[in-house]
Amino acid sequence: MQLSDARLGGSLSGFFYISSPGVRSPGWSPSGAAADMSIHSGAMAVARFRILGGKDSYKFSDLNPLLMPWQASAIKLDGIDKEEQFGWDRPTGVETDRDEHSPVGTDGDPWDMSHCQIADGYILRIRLERRKVPASLFQILFKQRLNAIAAKTGKMPPRPERARVKEELKRKLLERALPTLSYIDVFWNETHREIQVFSGSVKALTVFEELFYKTFAEPLKLAVVKIDPPLLGISRAEWENGSRAGKTVSKFAVAVPASLV
């Protein structure tokens, strides 16, 4: 099944690929034939979003300045005091002529939307970093801090002081915690004005919606509608008619909850 199929959505099994001339995958050869770039094998969930408004396609000069501020930074093993952070990472499997004499996909290498482009749009990847301090360890160290203050002052610190100690301890421990990495793959199909997110996780979809809105939807004035029942009943022809699609979605939004980015 090709990802450009507008019916793609829900929970799926099988081997998924994009057939795209000009994209070199691990099996690429210089024959000029179209290449098949594998996205996923096995069972997976796919969430679909429809894009309303904006232009049918954008130039690199339009998209690159929007992408750069939201790219994931190089991974750091210490000094980060946030429990969670995310940004756009360079997708794997999309190799361009610009990579002919340079390493591909190395963390920290410069990249832009030209490294994500395929025939129908863009393959995007979100990197999600999570840092967590074990609760049992935190409680032991927190009690040690409070006991040390009590031994010095002769009494346990008041509630505001305890809150300050807790926040400071949490920040210091997070700075030393190793990150857990996860990735969310996204196919932005410009041809069909549709986005497919390869995850059914509520957390993953929330991260995607927030990041895509801040990066592209807000500055380009796009509306991104998650396609859930009953929106699945809207035909492609109706979606592609901007004014009709807007009116139809508005009617559905009055009757049922609609997720708009």
Q: 259, 87 in Cβ contact below 8 A?
A: no
Angstrom distances, CA of residue 253 to CA of 53, 55, 117, 256: 17, 24, 33, 5
The tally of CA atoms less than 13 A away on the side-chain side of residue 185 is: 16
In this model, does residue 86 exceed pLDDT 70?
yes
Residue-range domain boundaries for the chain: 10-75+191-255, 135-176
Rounded Cα distance, 245 and 164, in Å: 52
In this model, does residue 61 exceed pLDDT 90?
yes
Query: Dihedral (C-alpha) 58, 1, 40, 112: value to the nearest 10 degrees?
Result: -10
∠ CA 176-181-183, nearest 5°, is: 155
In this model, does residue 103 exceed pLDDT 90?
no
Question: Taking the complete model, does pTM exceed 0.85, yes or no?
Answer: no
Angstrom distances, CA of residue 83 to CA of 177, 189, 221: 9, 32, 31
Please state the φ and ψ torsions of residue 187, each to the nearest 5 degrees.
Answer: -115, 110
In this model, does residue 203 exceed pLDDT 90?
yes
